[in-house]
Structure 1
Amino acid sequence: MSGLFAIPGPRVYSIPPSAAFLDRLAAAVWDEAGRDPMRLTDFTVLLPTRRSAREFADSIRKAAGSAALTPEIRTIGDIDADAPPFEPGSTAADFPPPCPAGLRRFELAQLIAALDARKGLAPDPAAVIAAAGELESVLDELAIAEIEDLSPLEDGIDRLPEHLREAAHFLEIVGQFWPARLQELGYADPGRRRSAMLHALADEWRAKPPDHPVIAAGSTGSIPATAALLGVIAGLPQGCVVLPGLDADLDDKAWNKIDPQHPQSGLKSLLDRIGMTREEVKAFPGVREDAPARRRRRFVNEALRPAEETADWLSRLERLSELENLDTARLTADALSGVSLIEAETPEGEAASIALALREFLEAEDGTHAIVVTPDLSIAARVSARLKRWGVEIDSSAGCPLRETAAGAFLNLVLALAEDPHDPVALAAVWKHPLCALGMPRPRLRELAARVEKRALRGVRPSDRDILKTRLTSKEGALDERAWALIEATDSALAPLRDEALQSAADFARALGQSVEAFAQTGEAESGKRGWAGPAGDKAAALIRDLMNESAALPAMDLSAFARIVSLMSEERTVREPPPDHPRLQIMGPLEARLQQADMVILAGLNEGTWPTLKRAEPFFSQAMRKDLGMDPVERRIGLSAHDFAQLLGAPRVILTRAERVEGAPSVASRWLWRLKTLARGALGEEAANEALAPDSPYTDWARRIDHPAMDELAQIPAPRPCPPVEARPRRISVTGVKTWVRDPYSIYARDVLRLKSLDPLDKPPGGMERGNAIHDALEDFLNAHMDDLPANAADRLTALGEAKLHEAGLSDAQIVAEIPRVRRAAEWFVARERERRGVGYAPLLIEAKGCIEIDAPAGTFTLTARADRIDAGPLGPAVIDYKTGAAPTAKVARLGFDPQLALEAAILAEGGFPGDKSTARQAPQSLLYIRIRGGRSVGEMRELIDADHDGESLMRAAREGIGELITRFDATDQPYLSQPRAQYVNEYGDYDDLARRSEWASQAEGSGE
């Protein structure tokens, strides 16, 4: 027999941090039951969390055997009148049921909207939903503190700062409107009902003590109603309370000065509430604390003692040393044995170090268990991802927001697409989502989606479905029917959400559910329901149900407001997928980790603001208002977190981790970590303290070397020199491609030999290329319409064409409005120059004409092609013209052959390579002209390549010889296609630079002249 109930009441025990709390408790219950499996069911055990309740059941089975029946195990916060430990017929069952969470949120939102309307404000449904969430926190906090009367605040509201004075008006809802509305609905506020249940149970047991053992274990009694129940349980004939880690060594002076941020503040408040002193709390029967664990506990408690008592830390350490019969240095070294510290440079480095520590831990013998505890979900996600590189599957039991799951993301993606059905990113995202099928097998959908994306969604956004259809139509006029069917199926699935009228949230929710099922349909019966499968699907379906059934209080809204509501609520709701059942590793939050036991504990994210989490600015209550109402100070939460931290430090092996920089800025170490380090350095000296806290293995160095090997360990790669067989090399090129061939042969290799082509981004904003193409197209149409004479209103006509072409290019109405003045100035300038040219004998001959010639070469015929913007007939010979809206090549660059476009077009013309009138054939060009059209301050520029020193014949001949030499050179099998070999023409980034791995070799090869 453990003798839990042998001493007179009230009975309160404490288990030190180093003991396996739940295993010790289970062993005591098993002993108290006389090791009789049948008597275990006589016990009622109340625990603080559901996880601890599950773990305790496992501990009972370990102690009594897997076939043993377990005690009645309940989570304190889940106690309700319709289940044990309440007796049947309890009067607590008459208490109104709790208001459902969704209904509570929407009803509060309606009250906030009414308050806004009373002030003359137009309430935004999504904003009032967010405000209702803040108000729920206030209701919960007031319910926990059991405060109903808010009248103490009334006299001081006018003296508050403006933001708090405005927020205080919301307290009308808390104190008046909400209680009245709950009475109308027949519900109780969940927080107040929970407290009422605990008080009711305390009252029943006080009046009629149960005839069986009752144990409340692991709770710090931070909620008044819980504290009241614990006080009753401690005094029951067969009742006791078991506390986690009460510090019996703290001197009375320090105990009496404990502030709300101290780890023992919660336990001190509990003992004060139930009217007990520390001396009356007994050590838990059968638990013996060994010397190393005791020394660590004392050292940690000393480090975390009240701030006012830290001035004489070292003298206190000396007194502890005397108690342990050790010198201070030895006491400190023993206390820190098994504790190490990792301070990584970044959060990524911190997660990598943790993952390596866990991977190393797995090399130890089976049966040991490690947990990572952190309030930072991003650290948990990073560690989980890092471990996957070794095939270790481990997820955080804290779960993740519904919005980040497949089901939740799908809801939001469908709504985003419904808001803007022409958004290429939204279309591609919906089609690529694993839940999307649109009535066809997923492989077919993926194939069609890829086809539509490549042909129709890349580049500038198609502004309507007609443009999409045009892009899916071949040059011969044949529509890709299967691809178009995907567009039609998408529009059909979106149809329920396309009503632009204001609707209720319930109607939108119903429509969203229909759309989601239409998108998810694979063609098989009931396959549309697969979007609601699994834990995340259940949560998504529950969100839709809540919006359909409980949102009647919300005003009518548009689709955008409804989408914001779904986004907000899916971010707030947590999904806990069944984690991979790893037998030895877990990641959890501090609350879940309470009472957990492990051989190694990693406490991660130990920076101020993360752990402890610093509450943001209080939206409703100032500190003075909290004091007036009798609420706990906000620092109380830090004290509870500090207790968690101190308890977790009791594990045999502990690794503390933090990142020195977060989001590029220096971080501040957690106050608890800072105190531990400061006390250790004071006792040992800085160097010895750092050595004492150094991890057994160099995890940060390993992490750095895994992801960033030292440069001297990397073999320097040479620049690529691909030499494909001659038969694989291209046998045709355009005159505009010659510039690329000269400056960056590797691009020709990648494009024409490997047949790789860079894709435009989705939803590409219209830029210089689109504007340039629009101007080109406008000039083409204008000149084709006016080959002979220019009308009097030529500038107006060209401006109108420019506006139309800009619209076709995808520019928005606002962008076009901004462009029109530039287009008009450019049109007026161009028309004036055109009249001048025609006045001296030039006349348009060919517009956007295609031409080509064949060139004899060592490997066979090579074709040179061109598409000339314009060729004019001139008084002394032809003029070859190219329009530029961006930079035009200088005459020197063009003459040297680095951009020989116009001279090569003239050569093609001279050799009869353009269609139509051959009268200009064999003539040297009279003009090689770039017309640069801008429309800004510098409206335009005429850049002529032919001058007194450079006649058209010589430029044309040089270009013709140059292209022949280039073809001959690359017809040799040993001629490589080099990546940007000419230093003066190196681009900062080319389409094929990654393929050529330029970043790995270019710094050395640049300027080599190859």
Structure 2
Amino acid sequence: MTRPTPTVFTIPPGLSFADALARSLLHRHRDNPLALSHIRILLPNRRSARALREAFLRANSGVPLLLPRMMPVGDVEEDSLDITGLASDSLDLPPAILETERLFLLARLTLGIPQGQGRPSSLAGALKLARDLARLIDSVHTERLDFAQLQDLAPEELAAHWQHTLTFLEVITEQWPKLLASLGKSDPSSRRNRLLDALTEQWRTNPPKGEIIAAGTTGSIPATADLLASIARLPNGTVILPGFDPMIADDDWEALDPGHPQYLMKQLLQHMGMSRHEVAHWPLAETDQAQSQKYAERVDLLRTALLPADRVVRWNSFKPDLEKALKGLTRIDCDSQGEEAGVIALLLREALETPGKRAALITPDRRLARQVRAELARWGLQIDDSAGDPIDRSAVGTFLRLVVAVAADPGPISLLALMKHPLAAAGHDRAVFRALARRLDRHGGREGYAVRGARPEASLDALMDSIRTAAMEEDDQTMLADFFNLLKPLETALHQPEADVTALMTCHLDVAQAIAQSHDKSGADQLWRLESGEHLATALADALAATPLLHSIPADQYPAFFDALLEGQMVRPRYGSHPRLAILGPIEARLHHADLMVLGGLNEGTWPAAPAHDPWLSRKMRADFGLPDEDRRLGQSAHDFMQAAAAPHVILTRASKVDGTPTVPSRWLSRLQVLAPTLSGSNLRFRSLYRELDRPHKIIPTDPPRPTPPLEARPKALSVTQVELWVRDPYALYARHILKLRALDPLEAEPDALEKGTIFHDALDQFLRLWDRTSSDETARALMEDCGRAAFGAALTRPAIWAFWWPRFLSVGHRFIEIERDRQAAYETLATERKGTLELNTHRPFTLIARADRIDRHQDTGALEIIDYKTGSPPQKKQIEAGFAPQLPLEGWMAQEGAFEGIAPTPVNALSFWQLRGTREPVNIQHVKAPEEQIDDARAGFFHLLDRFSRADTPYLSNPRPTFAGYGEYDHLARVAEWTQLPDLAADAPDPSSGPSSGPSSGPSADSASDKGDTP
């Protein structure tokens, strides 16, 4: 027997739905609390059931009690139906196919798309396409549509690619049901519909005993709407709508569009066959009634702000009491998303100062949520995020991805990342293995670093050869060789032309467990524990069980396939979060309210979200097919916003820029600001407080460093390049030669200006050694190209070098030959890349070292010309004259003294820079004016510098001339950024040399290769 009129109630916006429901039921059964256990409550999902259980506990002051039986309708299964008395085994429903199994089958089908019609290029791409296809199948089942209706869409009206997609969909949707039937499985969404339909029919024909309440759902799913309609007419059935607004004007109600927050409930009431005026207010506890009345003006403001676009004319006559409407409502606009996260964290932290106060961040922006969690960590707070954490970013997920990354494409960065991972041990004590990783990272021998610098060939053998060349300790080499042997099976498997997915995944997991094994624990014990490990173990076990459904794949596709497999999977911590703080998505927040509600990420494209892309059906095709359009999703999002924004204490936040890009405020914020201009977002209190968190209360200025090492520790030998550094930045010389501090080479370093200079120098040096000047120009050019290829070596395989450096080298080489032809009658090349040493005895012995790029002798005068090749910009004339660039003049002085091997003391009458540009002027020769005078000045300046620093009280100052200071490799050690902000210190900085003054520097010399090997 059913009622003639449905029984439908609502709990108004602004109240915590779960708390209001719990309080009212407790109040109703206050004389007989045991009666609660006889009530059945149907809720939207499991999260809602958890929220209601917690609400009952709060309403009962923490005292345990027998709760109503709760059934999550959105996650309905047989175990949920058992509480209804429905015999689920009598339904004869095939079990739902596992999600992984379904994805693999759909991926296999998508790989059958004809070439050139959107077929995915890899299994990873097929898996992503399969996820979209699974969502489409679920949507069709949810809306009770039939794939046969695809034929009703007119292909001739569609673009060619949509025609291909439609044709494939017709094929796949014909094959899919047959495939499921052959497996004895069903789609989860179809199965859910049948379960709900069975329950609806059961209750219609045989109403259950006891009270049944369907609470918090709007019936957006047709099967759920049928169930709600059935419950509403049961003698003991009740439907409670969340935030239904009976105050909307009749004409506005009739004009509601899918984008309005009340649209879905309007459709539900029509489906039930009842008027909106028949919806009654749920009997609330007195405190809830008072709160609802207190914030009625807020609800009125939100109702008016969210009117359909064609009804905003009512804004002209809307006269709200803004003081009441905005009481407890604040807007904060932040400059960046980082600042927004910091402000939100500060708001949540402040809420904890009030005993018992609960606070929640409501946002669909997962990135903002992660940033807020990171900010809260400064106070040691762990917060529950309802969305969970991406499994591929968990410790275990990252470890598994690193294992396959190293095996697939071995390189220093991925290798060190794997070795330094907390789970890596390779059979050793973890601390011992991590110490090995640090030694490998920093080790450098005579032949270079073990893994730093240019990237070696992508293989474990090449990496091991590099380690052996760097001469690491024998024990370290043995440990590394054993570690590489653990990775070898996976490396071999991933470099096969084709492989079975099951075999690849099994090998991957076996290798991962071997690397995770320590001296006292197995790899399985290390990997598959805690929430993330358990979740991954289950997910990967399901995947392994389903991999036989996949065909063999090119083995090199496995890493991308594994990443795609983990994508989108989330893991949620079971415990350890703060009991009074939460981060919720808009869906999870529908029934959950807190004392403080922070609505974050209120920008267009975030909340509301941008329209989702469907690769299978265009927006028009979806509408013609009968699927819900984006407006309905927008209406649901607007309802979520209104429910949360109507709470007593709400703070709305947004970022004016995200990643430096200006953003647009959410349409709801813009509408609210029109009606309530004082809600402008200019609140500065919490922004200022957040900025003050990391601002020091007092800045104590520091003085520039003035190290005065003992004379015996000061350099006794320097190259001419280092003398230039001595003039410009004595502290850098101190750090490099006295403290012996050297910057580590980058990992997998890209070729830089230094490497370019080395290559060009080596090629020209080799050419001049081999060139027969009597040979033809064609022969000379061929020799130049051969010398270039030898100097470039493996670097020529890099596209950028082949595209940019190599053509410029050829241009330089051709012009170089022409210049040499013109010079050969007047000049003779005596030496290239010649080392020079000049022993000096002044206050103390000192050795000056240089490596001249080239020394020529004039055929007539016998005088020498010192040539310096520059692939970058040569020093300016003023720098040379002021003593800022003494390298070439000092080489000239050394040549006059006979310091270069095999060259007698000879006058020098020319100093020149040959700029090797390779552009319109491939070789630009610049002669130093008055070379003899520059040599004399450089010699005098050098002796003066040597004299000053031979005194124990002369300090090695950093940037003694800050006005001309440029890039300094050791500026961070000298804390230059601190003391250069004080102008008085900069102006009064003493000049240690009182000779050649320090000059501007453009950074590390791109041509320090010209002095390679001359530093002792």
Q: TM-score, normalised by structure 2?
A: 0.86
Structure 2 equivalent of residue 432 of structure 1? 420
Partner Cα distance (1:934, 1:690) in 2: 60
Is 1:46 matched up with 2:42?
yes
User: Residue 295 of structure 2 aligns to a residue in which SS?
Assistant: helix
Is 1:344 matched up with 2:323?
no
By how many angstroms is 1:147 displaced?
Answer: 0.9
Partner Cα distance (1:93, 1:971) in 2: 98
Structure 1 equivalent of residue 791 of structure 2? 805
By how many angstroms is 1:415 displaced?
Answer: 3.0
Question: What amino acid does structure 1 have at the position aligned with 2:340?
Answer: E
By how many angstroms is 1:831 displaced?
Answer: 6.1
Structure 1 equivalent of residue 941 of structure 2? 962
Partner Cα distance (1:566, 1:820) in 2: 39
Q: 2:517 aligns with which of 502, 518, 521?
A: 521
User: Residue 246 of structure 1 aligns to a residue in which SS?
Assistant: coil
By how many angstroms is 1:615 displaced?
Answer: 1.7
Q: Contact conserved, 1:597 with 1:651, CA < 8 A, in 2? A: yes
Q: 2:968 aligns with which of 990, 993, 997?
A: 990
Instruction: Provide closer, same or farther for how the CA distance between residues 398 and 884 of structure 1 changes in structure 2, counting only shifts above 3 A.
Output: same
By how many angstroms is 1:345 displaced?
Answer: 2.4
Show CA shifts across 1:430-475 (max 9, x none): 2232222233333333333233333233322223667756654578
Partner Cα distance (1:54, 1:591) in 2: 14
1:284-363 aligned within 5 A: 284-288=282-286, 289-290=289-290, 291-313=293-315, 315=317, 317=319, 328-329=320-321, 332-363=322-353
Structure 2 equivalent of residue 322 of structure 1? none
Partner Cα distance (1:115, 1:497) in 2: 31
Is 1:80 matched up with 2:70?
no
Q: Contact conserved, 1:394 with 1:579, CA < 8 A, in 2? A: no
Q: Contact conserved, 1:505 with 1:547, CA < 8 A, in 2? A: no
Structure 2 equivalent of residue 419 of structure 1? 408
Structure 1 equivalent of residue 577 of structure 2? 581
Question: What amino acid does structure 1 have at the position aligned with 2:230?
Answer: V
Partner Cα distance (1:115, 1:825) in 2: 50
Q: 1:376 aligns with which of 344, 360, 365?
A: 365
Structure 1 equivalent of residue 1007 of structure 2? none
By how many angstroms is 1:198 displaced?
Answer: 0.8
Partner Cα distance (1:650, 1:121) in 2: 48
Structure 1 equivalent of residue 67 of structure 2? 70
- The total of aligned residue pairs comes to 970
By how many angstroms is 1:97 displaced?
Answer: 0.7
Partner Cα distance (1:312, 1:380) in 2: 37
Structure 2 equivalent of residue 609 of structure 1? 605
Structure 1 equivalent of residue 250 of structure 2? 252
Q: 1:863 aligns with which of 847, 858, 863?
A: 847
Q: Contact conserved, 1:871 with 1:879, CA < 8 A, in 2? A: yes
Structure 1 equivalent of residue 9 of structure 2? 13
Q: Contact conserved, 2:2 with 2:234, CA < 8 A, in 1? A: no
Show CA shifts across 1:118-165 (max 9, x none): 969675322222221211121111111111254265352221244433
Q: Contact conserved, 2:333 with 2:682, CA < 8 A, in 1? A: no
By how many angstroms is 1:225 displaced?
Answer: 0.8
Identify which range, 298-307 or 192-201, moves more after superposition: 298-307
1:782-861 aligned within 5 A: 796-807=782-793, 812=798, 815-816=801-802, 822-823=808-809, 826-827=812-813, 842=828, 844=830, 848-849=834-835, 851-857=837-843, 860-861=844-845
Partner Cα distance (2:831, 2:661) in 1: 65
Q: 1:500 aligns with which of 496, 502, 517?
A: 496
Instruction: Provide closer, same or farther for how the CA distance between residues 751 and 131 of structure 1 changes in structure 2, counting only shifts above 3 A.
Output: same
Q: Contact conserved, 2:153 with 2:625, CA < 8 A, in 1? A: no
Question: What amino acid does structure 1 have at the position aligned with 2:968?
Answer: G
Instruction: Provide closer, same or farther for how the CA distance between residues 62 and 774 of structure 1 changes in structure 2, counting only shifts above 3 A.
Output: closer
By how many angstroms is 1:906 displaced?
Answer: 5.0
Q: Contact conserved, 1:352 with 1:703, CA < 8 A, in 2? A: yes
Q: TM-score, normalised by structure 1?
A: 0.87
Partner Cα distance (2:878, 2:317) in 1: 84
User: Residue 138 of structure 1 aligns to a residue in which SS?
Assistant: helix
Q: Percent identity?
A: 36
Show CA shifts across 1:933-960 (max 9, x none): 5555544456565x8x544xx6555433
**What's the C-alpha RMSD, in Å, of the aligned pairs?**
3.7
Question: What amino acid does structure 1 have at the position aligned with 2:939?
Answer: R
Partner Cα distance (1:483, 1:670) in 2: 59
Instruction: Provide closer, same or farther for how the CA distance between residues 117 and 846 of structure 1 changes in structure 2, counting only shifts above 3 A.
Output: closer
Identify which range, 836-845 or 395-404, moves more after superposition: 836-845
Q: Contact conserved, 2:531 with 2:572, CA < 8 A, in 1? A: yes
By how many angstroms is 1:676 displaced?
Answer: 2.4
Identify which range, 970-979 or 792-801, moves more after superposition: 792-801
Q: 2:99 aligns with which of 98, 101, 107?
A: 101
Structure 2 equivalent of residue 323 of structure 1? none
User: Residue 14 of structure 1 aligns to a residue in which SS?
Assistant: strand
Show CA shifts across 1:918-946 (max 9, x none): x72x554466555555555544456565x
Q: Contact conserved, 1:874 with 1:926, CA < 8 A, in 2? A: no
1:702-721 aligned within 5 A: 702-706=689-693, 721=706
Partner Cα distance (1:295, 1:836) in 2: 92
1:93-492 aligned within 5 A: 93-116=91-114, 123-151=121-149, 153-173=151-171, 175-288=173-286, 289-290=289-290, 291-313=293-315, 315=317, 317=319, 328-329=320-321, 332-364=322-354, 366-421=355-410, 423-454=411-442, 455-463=449-457, 468=463, 472=467, 482-483=476-477, 485-486=479-480, 489-490=483-484, 492=486
Question: What amino acid does structure 1 have at the position aligned with 2:798?
Answer: S
Q: 1:770 aligns with which of 755, 777, 791?
A: 755
By how many angstroms is 1:67 displaced?
Answer: 4.0
Instruction: Provide closer, same or farther for how the CA distance between residues 507 and 478 of structure 1 changes in structure 2, counting only shifts above 3 A.
Output: closer
User: Residue 191 of structure 1 aligns to a residue in which SS?
Assistant: helix
Q: Contact conserved, 2:736 with 2:742, CA < 8 A, in 1? A: yes
User: Residue 991 of structure 1 aligns to a residue in which SS?
Assistant: coil
Structure 2 equivalent of residue 595 of structure 1? 591
**Structure 2: 5+ residue stretches without partners:** 443-448, 992-1016
Show CA shifts across 1:686-720 (max 9, x none): 4xx348x876x71123234446789xx86776655
Instruction: Provide closer, same or farther for how the CA distance between residues 152 and 420 of structure 1 changes in structure 2, counting only shifts above 3 A.
Output: closer
Partner Cα distance (1:7, 1:468) in 2: 79
Question: What amino acid does structure 2 have at the position aligned with 1:991?
Answer: E
**Structure 1: 5+ residue stretches without partners:** 318-327, 681-685
Q: Contact conserved, 2:331 with 2:652, CA < 8 A, in 1? A: yes
Question: What amino acid does structure 2 have at the position aligned with 1:760?
Answer: D
User: Residue 247 of structure 1 aligns to a residue in which SS?
Assistant: coil
Q: Contact conserved, 2:827 with 2:856, CA < 8 A, in 1? A: no
User: Residue 112 of structure 2 aligns to a residue in which SS?
Assistant: helix
Structure 2 equivalent of residue 55 of structure 1? 51
Q: Contact conserved, 1:456 with 1:471, CA < 8 A, in 2? A: yes
Q: 2:540 aligns with which of 540, 544, 549?
A: 544
Structure 2 equivalent of residue 510 of structure 1? 506
Is 1:743 matched up with 2:728?
yes
Identify which range, 83-92 or 210-219, moves more after superposition: 83-92
Q: Contact conserved, 1:402 with 1:575, CA < 8 A, in 2? A: yes
Q: Contact conserved, 2:893 with 2:939, CA < 8 A, in 1? A: yes
Instruction: Provide closer, same or farther for how the CA distance between residues 53 and 829 of structure 1 changes in structure 2, counting only shifts above 3 A.
Output: same
Identify which range, 206-215 or 486-495, moves more after superposition: 486-495
Q: Contact conserved, 1:221 with 1:270, CA < 8 A, in 2? A: yes
Show CA shifts across 1:18-76 (max 9, x none): 43432333344445656545544333221112222123223334556644333322211
User: Residue 85 of structure 1 aligns to a residue in which SS?
Assistant: helix
